[in-house]
Amino acid sequence: MGLILSLLIGALAGFLGSKIFSGAGKGLLLNLIIGIVGSMLGSWLFSLVGIGGNGLVWQLVCATVGAIVLLWIISLIKK
């Protein structure tokens, strides 16, 4: 159940991150990849500044912020 929940949170975070950053979703598979990589990036960034938390809401917030940062980095590389 943990893997399925992580994939759902990753897909939702990728979707939210892409909607916030560019105004459109990227498709299920790309949203899932963005969300999973974004969750790793977000948890690393939040640990650098000493912010942490527990629970599904925290995981979603952390993954969404990481997805937005990831999309921003990708847009800088594309330019």
Place of tokens 């159940």: 1
Range of the domain at 38: 2-78
Q: What is the pLDDT of residue 1?
A: 54
Give the mean model confidence (pLDDT) for residues 73-79. 86
Its pTM stands at 0.85
What number of residues does the chain have?
A: 79
- Residue range 17-61, pLDDT digits in tens: 888 887 776 677 888 888 888 888 888 888 899 888 888 888 889
Q: What is the pLDDT of residue 51?
A: 86
What are the tokens at 69?
């940062």
Split into its structural domains, the chain has a count of 1
**Residue 73 confidence (pLDDT) above 70:** yes
> What is the C-alpha to C-alpha distance for residues 50 and 68, in angstroms, rounded to an integer?
19
Residue among 21, 1, 2 at smallest CA distance from 64: 21
